[in-house]
A and B are shown apart, each in its own frame.
Chain A
């Protein structure tokens, strides 16, 4: 039975982070994510959701944590972090694409980790890198737009560029920090649905921070409820009853 259990891609244990100004953003968070699993983190603004994700890929160096990624102990030296980040795709609330560059070049940025040094100053990428980027563009349905300035696209399309850039890394883990919060509700649902479908197809371990409970219900395999930097709920989306949501969001919460 134990042999049939897939090994988790990510294991976070006792993650804690205190910002230099003394804010205790995360306090003793532990969870793990398996291949093909969609874990959604919900919680109030300021609960520490972003900090958790940013600690996992080392953009923020946690005050204290034991993190295992693909059965390796995560360290925080420069060389290891480069190796770690190129295997973890990250999707941002504000897309964080380069508006002056073409859609294709933006997606190719997902290949920076394997770009040879001589090609770096020239914005050149290998044939294989271009093929991977093209495949990623096809996955998000932006093949036709490849030559456009990324800044000219609509918000929904820009976030799909962000998703394609993360996919181009051929990652083992995807982290998405409120990926659809700056889109209108209908587009948000469509973009997120498309994203989740890709993650399942590719059997990617995925962690998504979300504001909206309905979206969490619809797309999560497992939900983590975070309050004041601690996990106060872990379970199936079907278990998200009113009392539990009130525990996560506060007494005033109602549907």
Chain B
């Protein structure tokens, strides 16, 4: 191979350059400068100061120590509220699944893009999914608290509506990934439109639909804790209350219960999903 260098040394031809190259270079430089400036501004606005962590820890040493002494007398009450949180998440997910299941078929390219009315429906359904995903669940929870009052029902509705965005998108993409062969087989044996969906598509997507639903329930449990803080039921509200009353022993109990519950449910959902052949 050494012979390669013997035949005179080749030079790289010049890189083709557009006449606008110098302009682009200065635009890039300007953009970089603006990003750096914004980071500096953000540090200033948020009062970012690691020293405060050390200082604060020293000042509140007594209070922090209470976090190490959980108050177990309220454990059973908190467990009930934790259960309520899980239930809110369960019902919210269930509502979302019921809504997104039919919508997902109307929002999948392979079923809808064949006709002009189909394309319109597809576009509208995908738009709905995107809008619902953009609505922060906390905003929705506040909205439902105003509509139906404080309590778990507001949380169920907020999670139910918000989750349609993600579940609908995932369900639709699953439908788009199916094997068309069985669909054609159902058509060829005289199956009508509904039978095509129910016998040609559903068996192909059902395990993934179930896995996504469990995954969403998992996310919703954590979300519903946060929603509780704005008054939408469950254990979250107690976090706010104990904080404002400086009842750090009780707060510690709530922390531990949440930590344990979320860990166990996380693990259970992961196990279930691997059983369904999904990670």
Contact = CB atoms under 8 A, between A and B. Distances in A.
Contact of B194 (A97, A113, A120, A162): A120
Given A82-B192, A98-B199, A101-B203, A109 B187 contact: no
B254 to A, nearest CB: 43
B181 A86 contact: no
A90 interface: yes
A225 interface: no
- Taking each of A57, A90, A96, which has the highest tally of chain B beta carbons within 10 Å of its own beta carbon? A96
Nearest to B195: A112
B135 to A, nearest CB: 32
B136 interface: no
A115 B195 contact: yes
B33 interface: no
A20 to B, nearest CB: 11
Contact of A96 (B184, B190, B194, B199): B184
Determine the main DSSP class of B at the interface with A. helix
A249 interface: no
B187 A85 contact: yes
Interface residues of A, number: 31
A110 B206 CA distance: 21
Given A115-B195, A121-B198, A97 B189 contact: no
Nearest to B207: A100
Contact of A59 (B184, B192, B203): B184
Interface in B176-190: 181-182, 184-190
A169 interface: yes
A161 to B, nearest CB: 11
Contact of B189 (A83, A100, A165): A165
B118 interface: no
A140 to B, nearest CB: 16
Contacts of B198: 120-121
A159 B98 CA distance: 36
Contacts of A85: 187-190
B199 A109 contact: yes
A142 B161 CA distance: 48
B189 A96 contact: no
Interface string A89-119: 1101011111011000000011011010000
Contacts of A165: 185, 189
A96 B74 CA distance: 59
A199 interface: no
Contacts of A180: none
Contacts of B191: 109, 112-113
Contact of B181 (A94, A112, A115, A120): A94
B159 to A, nearest CB: 27
B130 interface: no
Nearest to B196: A112
Interface in B118-169: none
B182 A96 contact: yes
Contacts of A84: 190
B204 interface: yes
Contacts of A25: none
Nearest to A89: B189
A51 to B, nearest CB: 14
B207 A112 contact: no
Contacts of A92: 181, 184-185
A196 interface: no
A204 interface: no
Interface of A: 57, 59, 82-90, 92, 94-98, 100-101, 109-110, 112-113, 115, 120-121, 123, 162, 165-166, 169
Given A57-B188, A96-B181, A112-B195, 19 more contacts: A59-B184, A59-B188, A84-B190, A85-B188, A85-B189, A85-B190, A90-B185, A92-B185, A94-B181, A95-B181, A96-B185, A97-B182, A98-B200, A98-B203, A100-B203, A109-B191, A112-B190, A112-B199, A120-B194
Query: What 5 A-B pairs are tightest by C-beta distance, nearest first?
Result: A86-B190, A113-B190, A96-B181, A90-B188, A96-B185
Interface of B: 181-182, 184-192, 194-195, 198-200, 203-204, 206-207
30 contacts: A57-B188, A59-B184, A59-B188, A82-B192, A83-B190, A84-B190, A85-B189, A85-B190, A86-B189, A87-B190, A90-B185, A90-B188, A92-B185, A94-B181, A95-B181, A96-B184, A97-B182, A98-B200, A98-B203, A98-B204, A100-B203, A101-B203, A109-B185, A110-B189, A112-B186, A113-B189, A120-B194, A121-B198, A162-B185, A169-B189
